[in-house]
Amino acid sequence: MAKSAEKVIDTLKQLSVRTNVVVLSPEWMTKIKAKAIEQQKEFNGRVGTYNHNEVKSIMSGLMAEVAMRNTYRYYGTQARLNLHYAQPDLTIPATTTLEGHVAEHHEEVKSWQLCHYDTFGNTVKVGQAKRYLDKGRKRVWFCSCDVENATVVIRGWLTPAEIMECDIITTGGKYGGENYNCLVLHRASEVFPKLQEVDVDAWW
């Protein structure tokens, strides 16, 4: 992290969920770490997407889900977490606004550790995007996470159909493959009109 890291983190803590930068409390981080250890034991030795994840990687995913839940609740929507890989990440209850009634729906949260974001950020596996569409997910959130500093940046969102309109790239490595490369995202403030967008990339 460049510049005065402590000053940056202090600033982020003041911002909290009023912006697209969410700093999680020590209490949340303790719960997240315990859940990540539990999930790693569950995934260990199992064939599939998650069997190679380290605790830190699992924590990143859980942090993003908690950050989105907290942001929804800060702005008045009682979003619920599921915290299980086979379930939708978020359940958004039915609401009625000036624009009309919105039925209960499910959303997904994708995250990347900050150190991997420039390489893999905003990519979605082709098969995963299709599953999101088939399951009727309304929105997919994109986040980057700094585990050491308990910080989540909400990068934006797309619908599954929009993801599947993006260009396909092939990433390397043992767990690489064909991915949609989602370069342009909707801003978080389109969902949370009072949220202040912060140019986080200018800080890191």
Q: What is the DSSP string of 115-181?
A: HHHHHHTTEEEHHHHHHHHHTT--EEEEEEEETTTTEEEEEEEE-HHHHTTSEEEEE-STT-EEEEE
Give residue 2's pLDDT band: very low, low, confident or very high (50, 70, 90): very low
CB 37 within 8 A of CB 56: no
pLDDT at position 76 over 70? yes
Separation CA 45–CA 48 (nearest Å): 9
* Amino acid type, 177: G
Arithmetic mean of pLDDT, 88-105: 82
What per-residue confidence (pLDDT) applies to 138? 95
Cα R_g (the chain), whole angstroms: 17
Query: Model's pTM, two decimal places?
Result: 0.85
* Mean pLDDT, rounded, of the chain: 85
Q: What tens digit of pLDDT does each residue of 167-177 get?
A: 999 987 766 78
pLDDT at position 190 over 70? yes
Arithmetic mean of pLDDT, 126-155: 95
What per-residue confidence (pLDDT) applies to 87? 77
Percent of the chain with pLDDT over 70: 81
Strand, coil or helix: what is 48? coil
Give residue 204's pLDDT band: very low, low, confident or very high (50, 70, 90): very low
